[in-house]
Chain A
Amino acid sequence: MPIHIIDRRLNPGGKSLENRQRFLRRAKSLVQGAVKKTSQERDIKDVLEGGEVTIPLDGMHEPRFRREGGTRDMVLPGNKKFIEGDYLQRSGQGSAKDSGPGEGDSEDAFRFVLSRDEFVDLFLDDLELPDLAKRKIAQTESEGIQRAGYTTSGSPANISVGRTVRRALARRIALKRPGKDEIEELEAAIAACTDEDERLLLLAQLDKLKAKVKRIPFIDPLDIRYRRFETVPKPVAQAVMFCLMDVSGSMSEHMKDLAKRFYMLLYVFLKRRYKHVEIVFIRHTDRAEEVDEQTFFYGPASGGTLVSSALQAMHEIVRERFNPSDWNIYAAQASDGDNSYSDGELTGMLLTDRILPACQFFAYLEVGESGGSAFDLSDSSLWTLYERLRNSGAPLSMRKVSERSEIFPVFHDLFQRRDTAQEKAAP
């Protein structure tokens, strides 16, 4: 009997992928909740590595008719000392282990591992930059290709066979190119013909037909058509995000840590969601500088505080590189709220006159010391200033954060998808 031995190892993997996606789709709200809960306890880098989540099984439970309770009989191995008629004490633990619910418990919570992509997708699922693409959508950054009829010239790979053959057929019919059957018929007639004269006549006719066939090609270069493609510009909304961070001496390590975490998250969110978002990093003490992301996140710096310096730097960069009429401009600022008194006025002026009119959205994150609730202290100078501006209608969002665990909720809050809220407000 022949035995088939087959190596299946090379078969494409991921056969369960679709089932897995179905499962995730079904459990989406549960998994999302779990993802957010998990992410609060973890380092940002870990969050973005994906990982294990636990969801309650309630929504994913597959019910069956199960029996429980009642009198039970069982046969067990390993009797050592019992004889018929003995009684065993029911110990709490023993009965719990043996009875039905034990099985149910293990399924109450369900742990499984999400891949990095799945995790981040779920994590960022309901986030969006507000009011994107209100400004002019210009800059043909990407070009799509689109079919655009047929052409008489092109590369051989683009020959449209159907179109070519159709044209050839039309031409052959129009020019009355004799068909194969016509010639065969004539040849048969010649073979069957007995009268010499008529045969000669037919032969001449045959020659004429054959000459015509030679003259009119089956497919002429004239017939050939190529598929034509056109490049179409795809409009892309241009956006830039300014990240302003206070790194002055008044910011403790904890505060800097909070601010950096916030920007890390923002960075990941933008990189993942928006292909064409420019990011500008500005850090400031009593003077501001534009830095690359490496320096921004990891470079040490210290000094006094002049918030206006950062705003000034931002304003200059906007003027130089990002024309507000062409760009959607976003900014996020993190600070402990300390600012030198003399600077307050300048900051307010810069913000109201220069920055906010150009911005789509400006988020201010005030970081506080761990443990100190943000509410028992009087508001910081920056907070008071910004609050005044906001009350006068500036597009400004403000949040306070003092614990690591608050970063994610605040971030979600700031960048929550707003379309539903707006739609509700509109009518």
Chain B
Amino acid sequence: MTERLFEGADWDFHTLQRITDACEEVAKNDLGLDVYPNQIEVITAEQMLDAYSSVGMPLFYKHWSFGKQFAYHEASYRKGLMGLAYEIVINSSPCISYLMEENTATMQTLVIAHAAFGHNHFFKNNYLFKQWTDADGILDYLDFAKNYVMQCEERYGRVEVERTLDAAHALMSHGIDRYPGKKKLDLREEEKRAGRRRQHEEEVFNDLWRTVPKGASKTRSAISLERRRKLLGLPQENLLYFLEKSAPRLAPWQRELLRIVRHIAQYFYPQSQTKVMNEGTATYVHYRIMTKLHQQGRITDGNFLEFLGSHTNVVFQPEFDDPRFSGFNPYALGFAMMQDIERIVTSPEDEDREWFPDIAGKNDVMGVLRDVWANYRDESFIAQFLSPKLMRQLRMFHLHDDPEERAGIRVDAIHDERGFRRVRRELARQHDVGYIDANIEVVDVDLSGDRRLILHHHVIKGSQLNETDAKRVLQHLADLWTYDVSLIEVDASDKVLREYVVSPRPIPAAA
């Protein structure tokens, strides 16, 4: 007879230890999860707000925008407009989970199962995270970034650093390598490299070079477009990378700041691509673990009911005409799909055999799921595994809204035999980050003339950039580039829809 993990709602640190051990037993033996070592930290509401304002990370460089976040969250929390998360989990090794101190013992169990095992397994095994993030190095790297920004502020002034960071933040969503190819990021190495570079600069600094007469400059006009594009690595969609490497007048520390912002953006990139899967995995794992603990008699019926209450809230999906509706709930969709896969693997119907011949009736639920968790992201996961049964269950339909169409919004497909594939394809596309973000790339630099930087925005389905925001971002971009910048919006047939030209602001004399 196994012992109860806890009674009632109270917990202490021994309880947490017992809970974690029990969860780990189920996670390892029943689910076959493979996780980073866990580190569990108990925090207060104020500390949770702190974490919110630094994008969930335990340490971060200082910037006013995080203060703004904090002020905003604090105000809405105090007024009761917003509850706080039960936990925050960090993709690092060891995997750090922050638990709120006011959670009940049941909630702590749920949260440990969810974060310390569900998310943790996903972080360690999903191909995107493996490819793009360095869990071992991230905390050290953030520490380095924090210190580096601080040193820069001391050396070059807070205003200067803030200006550079503001600009870098504006371009953050376009500071990502979307396709692998370069070597894996090693953040520890990054940190050392920055130090070495600075040292090298100091060693080789020789004021004499400034006074050496320059030879006659070579004629630049001869450089052909092809050659120029090759030299600059164009077209380039990673704007921060391009600026870091090619902006003519940035100081070395500014390049390093751009690099830091770029690395951090890259670190978060997999998370934005796997919301449904990540939450689906964690929710499925906590559901399995909690159920098992209840079966084993380690959790009382009352506590299990409390768990079911919160679980149901988490996976609640309002319908489109519900005032609470705000898009698909990644927890709900993810969990529903994971359970659906479990159903297909264990007790498939004829339809499932036809749609999913590879997994239907395979009976190894965890084997299939682990494979799915490792090798897909939201877009491919939905495109591959959303079943007709689930589409019927959620009563999905596809709307096509063409502003030109007078009659209104057309229902393009519904959950029927004709529509399944189209609905599924469209939903997958909605979860494709590459499709959601504006497709902007550097196409050319006028090297022989006024050094104007030329960017293209490839407009999809007539959706252009918000004008005020675009102008502001371009202003930041021009400030970094220090020459004119033009952004041309072109549609699929290369027709120019709109052109922005922005000149850099003069740098104040104090700099």
- Listed in ascending order, the chain A residues whose CB lies under 8 Å from chain B are 1-9, 11, 13, 15-16, 18-26, 52, 60-80, 82-90, 100, 104, 110-113
> In the complex, what residues of B have CB within 8 A of residue A20's CB?
67, 70-71
B389 at the interface (CB under 8 A from A): no
- Tell me the minimal C-beta distance from B170 to chain A in angstroms: 5
User: Are the CB atoms of A84 and B62 closer together than 8 Å?
Assistant: no
**Cβ-defined partner of B320 (8 Å) among A21, A22, A76, A90:** A76
In the complex, chain A residues whose CB is within 8 Å of the CB of B470:
63, 65-66
* Most A C-beta atoms less than 10 A away, residue of B17, B43, B427, B463: B463
* Chain B residues closer than 8 Å to A2, beta-carbon distance: 37
The prevalent SS among residues of B at the interface is mixed
Q: Which of B72, B400, B416, B437 contacts A112 (CB 8 A)?
A: B72
| Min C-beta distance of A51 to chain B, whole Å | 11
Known contacts A19-B70, A77-B320, A90-B408; decide if A4 and B94 are in contact (CB<8 Å): yes
Please tell me if the beta carbons of B407 and A15 are within 8 angstroms of each other in the complex. Answer: no
- Contact of B504 with A by CB under 8 A: no
B464 lies within 8 A of chain A by Cβ: yes
Q: Which residues of B contact A11 (CB under 8 A)?
A: 47
* B182 proximal to A (CB < 8 A): no
Decide if A16 touches B38 in the complex (CB within 8 Å): no
Q: How far is the CB of B322 from chain A (nearest CB, A)?
A: 7
> Once the chains are docked, how many angstroms separate the CA of A87 from the CA of B63?
48
CB contacts (< 8 Å) of B186 on chain A: these are: none
When the two chains form their complex, are residues B398 and A75 in contact, meaning their CB atoms are under 8 A apart?
yes
Q: A62 to B39, alpha carbons, bound, how many Å?
A: 34
Q: List 10 A-B contacts (CB under 8 A).
A: A3-B39, A5-B40, A13-B44, A16-B49, A19-B53, A21-B67, A63-B468, A69-B463, A71-B404, A71-B461
Interface pair A87/B410, CB less than 8 Å apart: yes
In the complex, B169 has a CB within 8 A of chain A = yes
Known contacts A77-B394, A85-B411, A86-B411; A63 and B101 CB within 8 A of each other: no
- Residue from A5, A15, A84 in contact with B50 in the complex, judged by beta carbons closer than 8 Å: A15
CB proximity of B402 to chain A, nearest CB, Å: 4
B71 touches which of A23, A66, A74, A80 (Cβ 8 Å): A23
B412 and A73 contacting across the interface, CB-CB below 8 Å: yes
Minimum distance in angstroms from A221 CB to a CB of chain B: 45
Known: A71-B462, A77-B317, A82-B411. A9 touches B13 (CB 8 A): no
B407 contacts which chain A residues (CB < 8 A)?
Answer: 87
Cα distance, A369 to B211, chains bound together (Å): 77
* B64 / chain A contacts, CB cutoff of 8 Å: 19, 22-23, 25-26
- Check B409 against A87 for contact (C-beta < 8 Å): yes
Contact A5/B47 with A20-B70, A65-B173, A79-B415 known, Cβ cut-off 8 Å: no
Q: A3-B17, A71-B461, A72-B461 are in contact. Are A64 and B399 (CB under 8 A)?
A: no
Decide if B449 is an interface residue (CB 8 Å cutoff). Answer: no
| Residue in contact with A19 in the complex, picked from B67, B429, B440, CB distance below 8 Å | B67
A62 touches B71 (CB 8 A): no
User: Once bound together, how far apart are the Cα atoms of A193 and B72, in whole Å?
Assistant: 87
Taking a contact as CB atoms under 8 Å apart, the answer to whether B411 and A76 are in contact is: no
Give the Cβ gap from A377 to chain B, nearest Cβ, in Å: 45
Question: How many chain B residues touch the partner (CB < 8 A)?
Answer: 97
Closest 5 CB pairs of A and B: A78-B319, A23-B67, A70-B463, A70-B462, A19-B67
Q: Which of B72, B98, B321, B397 contacts A110 (CB 8 A)?
A: B72
B403 contact from A9, A63, A69, A88, Cβ within 8 A? A69
Chain B residues close to A by CB (< 8 Å) = 13, 16-17, 20-21, 24, 37-44, 46-47, 49-50, 53-54, 62-68, 70-72, 74-75, 78, 94, 98, 101, 162, 166, 169-170, 172-174, 317-322, 325, 328, 394-404, 407-416, 418-419, 423, 426-427, 429-430, 437-438, 440, 457, 459-466, 468-470, 472-473, 476
- A88 to chain B: closest residue by CB: B409
| Assembly CA distance A26 to B415 (angstroms) | 52
Task: Tell me, in angstroms, the Cα distance from A67 to B466 when the chains sit together.
Answer: 6
On whether the beta carbons of B17 and A19 are closer than 8 Å, the reply is no
**CB of B411 to closest CB in A, whole Å:** 4
Q: Which residues of B contact A61 (CB under 8 A)?
A: 472
CA distance A232 to B487 in the complex (A): 65
The residue in chain B whose Cβ has the minimal distance to the Cβ of A21 is B67
Complex Cα distance, B206 from A182, in Å, reads 49
Q: Which residues of B contact A112 (CB under 8 A)?
A: 71-72, 74-75
A73 touches B464 (CB 8 A): no
Inter-chain contact B469/A76, CB cutoff 8 Å: no
In the complex, which of the residues A5, A19, A65 contacts B473, with contact meaning CB atoms closer than 8 Å?
A65
Give CA–CA (A87, B411) in the complex, Å. 6
A76 to B398, CA, bound (A): 6
Alpha-carbon distance between A18 and B53 when the two chains are bound, in angstroms: 12
- Most-contacted residue by chain A among B21, B24, B66, B68 (CB, 10 A): B68
With a cutoff of 8 Å between Cβ atoms, the chain B residues found around residue A90 in the complex are 401, 408-409
The reply to whether A13 and B47 form a contact with Cβ atoms under 8 Å apart is yes
Min Cβ gap B72→A in Å is 6
Do A24 and B42 touch across chains, with their CB atoms under 8 A apart? no
Q: What are the residues of chain A within 8 A of B174 when measuring CB–CB?
A: 65
* Chain A residues whose CB sits within 8 angstroms of the CB of B465 once the complex forms: 65-68
Instruction: Give the chain B neighbours of A75 by CB distance below 8 A.
Output: 328, 396-399, 423, 426-427, 430
| Bound CA–CA A60/B69 (angstroms) | 11
Chain B residues lying within 8 Å of A70, measured Cβ to Cβ, are 403, 459-464
CB–CB A82/B40 < 8 A: no
* Cβ A84 vs Cβ B74 within 8 A: no
Complex Cα spacing A259 to B438, Å: 60
Verify B398–A66 contact, CB threshold 8 A. no
Which among A5, A60, A112 has the highest number of chain B CB atoms within 10 Å?
A: A5
Nearest opposing residue in chain B for A112, CB measure = B71
Given contact pairs A5-B17, A68-B466, A77-B395, enumerate 16 new A-B contacts (beta carbons under 8 Å): A4-B38, A5-B39, A16-B50, A19-B63, A19-B70, A63-B476, A65-B174, A66-B466, A70-B403, A70-B462, A75-B423, A75-B426, A78-B394, A85-B410, A88-B399, A104-B466
Contact A5–B68 (Cβ < 8 Å): no
What residue of chain B has the Cβ atom nearest to residue A15's Cβ?
B50
Most B-side CB within 10 Å, residue of A60, A75, A77, A82: A75
Contacts of A104 in B (CB 8 A): 466
Q: Which residue of A lies closest to B400 (CB)?
A: A73
Closest-CB distance, B193 to chain A (whole angstroms): 28
Using CB atoms, name the residue of chain B closest to A63: B472
Partner of B411, one of A5, A19, A84: A84
B382 shortest CB reach to chain A, Å: 10
Q: How far is the CB of B476 from chain A (nearest CB, A)?
A: 7
Q: What separation, in Å, do the CA atoms of A117 and B339 have in the docked complex?
A: 54
User: Is A82's CB under 8 angstroms from B170's CB?
Assistant: no
A97 to B398, CA, bound (A): 18
- Contact present for B411 and A62 (CB under 8 Å): no
Within the assembled complex, what's the spacing in Å between the Cα atoms of A23 and B67? 5
Point out which of A13, A26, A66, A89 has the most chain B C-beta atoms below 10 A from its C-beta.
Answer: A66
Query: Do B24 and A1 have beta carbons less than 8 Å apart?
Result: yes
